[in-house]
Each structure stands twice: as structure tokens, then as C-alpha cells.
């Protein structure tokens, strides 16, 4: 992997911006928190976990305990951020959860939880952020979709359905909120080395299978997804909205 993938580019316009990252303690979320902080942004992380793991803590960042599937908790957290910082310039809808359950075995509770985190939470998080951004002249929202929302996979019908919906939700919100100065885009990662995908990369046979399906012959790093968040949140993407940027090593083309 090139050093530039983790070292990244410099985005001066992000210096001093207020950025919220949901799912802030996961693999991609932690990388995103670090990446935005390195650009000089004021970073607020939201996560279901009550206390950050030491390895996930970003100096000078704030962490709020939020169940992103609960719109009331989202609204309260946004009010907290605005009271403390006065604005939200970028909202990174990164929180996600996944069940490995066959479609014939899916139960309502598992379905509702996955849809709640991966779709309902994405919408109400975006809505809460957009209400603040609309008052302040605009901003950028980046949603986390997935390769699974583009190409069919077994045993993740709830997750795959939610992620496919996130990409189209992104299109609809970009259309509706563009006149307000709010850009809405999505990032769709492929196989990334995170705790959620540990079952893939900790088993040598699974790892080899997934790598062989990927044209670049490796799994991605969380920092590579975080770099796409930076790019879409930054003014370098000022004329980009309604797009889903696929970061998958080419697997959707295999």
C-alpha cells in the first residue's frame, strides 16, 4: 500500500471546521477522527460505546455516547455540539452494524436493529446536521454505504439492503438540499481491515478467498476510507454532490 494512502493529502480549508463522526470508535471511525484532527478540524465523535478505548482516543476530540438508531439521542447530541461549537460544517455518517444471518433465519429484532443503525440513523443524523447547516449557509454530509449495497452477498440481507438504500438516500438528499448549500455524498468501501470484518482477515482461508476476488489483491485500510471522507468534506469537492465513491480495490468489477 502506498504511504500516501495513510499519510494523506492536506486540506487547509478543514482547519477550524466542526466535524462530527458517528461510529467514532470503530476501525474506520477512529481513522476518520484522526484524519480530521490532523487537518486542524474540531472533531466530535459519537458512538454507542460509553468510553473510548485508549487506542481510539484522538487528543482534543470530544466523544459523546449516542445510539445512532435513536433519533431523539441524535437530536440531543446535535444540540450539545451546537451549544458548544456553534456550527456543524461536516457530518460523517459512519456508524454501522452487521449481522451474519441467512435470509431464511432473519428475525424481526435483528432486522430492525441493523436497519435502525445503518439506514434510519443515517437519515436522522443527516437531517439533524442539515438543519444546522441550512442556518449557517451549507456544509457537507458524507454517508457510509458499502460494496455489499452494490453487489449481492449471502448472509447479510439486512445490511446489504440498508447500504443499497443509503446510496439512493444520498442521491435524494443531494437533490433536495443542494439549493441550501449542503452537499451529500457517500463512500462505499469494499473489504476493509476493521473489527467488523475480523472474521475475514483473521482466517487465512477466508482472507485468501477475499483477496483473490479483489483486483488489487489486498484488503483496504481504514485510513484509505478516511481519506475519502476528507476529500468529500473539503472544498476541493465543492462541485461534487449526489455521488457514491466506491473504495473497494476493484471488487465490484470482478
Which cell numbers in the block locate residue 184?
Answer: 451529500
**Cβ contacts of 174 within 8 Å, gap of 6 or more:** 183, 184, 185, 241, 242, 243
Q: How far apart are alpha carbons 80 and 59 in whole angstroms? A: 19
Find the catalytic residue in 11, 63, 147, 159. Answer: 159
Please list, residue by residue across 105-124, b when 16 or more beta carbons sit within 10 angstroms of its beta carbon and e when fewer do.
eeeeeebeebbbbbbbbbbb
- Tell which residue, 12, 23, 86, 5, has the closest CA to residue 234: 12
Is 159 catalytic? The answer is: yes
Please list the active-site residues: 159
Amino acid at each position: 500500500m502506498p504511504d500516501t494512502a495513510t499519510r494523506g493529502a492536506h486540506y487547509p480549508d478543514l482547519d477550524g471546521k466542526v466535524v462530527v463522526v458517528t461510529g467514532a470508535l470503530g476501525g474506520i471511525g477512529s481513522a476518520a477522527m484522526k484524519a480530521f484532527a490532523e487537518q486542524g478540524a474540531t472533531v466530535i465523535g459519537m458512538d454507542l460505546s460509553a468510553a473510548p478505548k485508549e487506542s481510539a482516543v484522538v487528543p482534543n476530540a470530544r466523544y459523546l455516547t449516542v445510539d445512532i438508531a435513536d433519533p431523539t439521542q441524535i437530536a440531543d447530541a446535535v444540540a450539545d455540539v451546537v451549544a458548544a461549537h456553534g456550527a456543524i460544517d461536516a457530518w460523517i455518517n459512519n456508524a454501522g452494524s452487521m449481522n451474519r444471518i441467512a435470509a431464511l433465519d432473519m428475525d424481526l429484532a435483528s432486522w430492525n436493529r441493523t436497519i435502525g443503525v445503518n439506514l434510519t440513523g443515517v437519515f436522522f443524523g443527516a437531517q439533524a446536521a442539515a438543519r444546522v447547516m441550512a442556518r449557517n449557509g451549507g456544509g457537507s454530509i458524507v454517508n457510509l454505504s458499502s460494496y455489499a449495497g452494490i453487489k449481492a452477498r449471502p448472509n447479510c440481507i439486512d445490511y446489504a439492503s440498508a447500504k443499497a438504500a443509503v446510496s439512493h438516500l444520498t442521491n435524494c438528499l443531494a437533490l433536495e438540499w443542494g439549493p441550501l448549500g449542503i452537499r451529500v455524498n457517500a463512500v462505499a468501501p469494499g473489504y476493509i481491515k476493521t473489527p467488523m470484518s475480523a472474521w475475514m482477515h483473521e482466517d487465512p482461508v477466508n482472507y485468501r478467498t477475499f483477496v483473490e476476488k479483489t483486483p488489487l489483491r489486498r484488503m483496504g485500510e481504514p485510513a484509505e476510507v478516511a481519506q475519502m471522507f476528507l476529500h468529500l468534506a473539503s472544498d476541493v469537492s465543492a462541485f461534487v454532490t449526489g455521488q457514491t465513491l466506491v473504495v473497494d480495490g476493484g471488487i465490484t468489477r470482478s
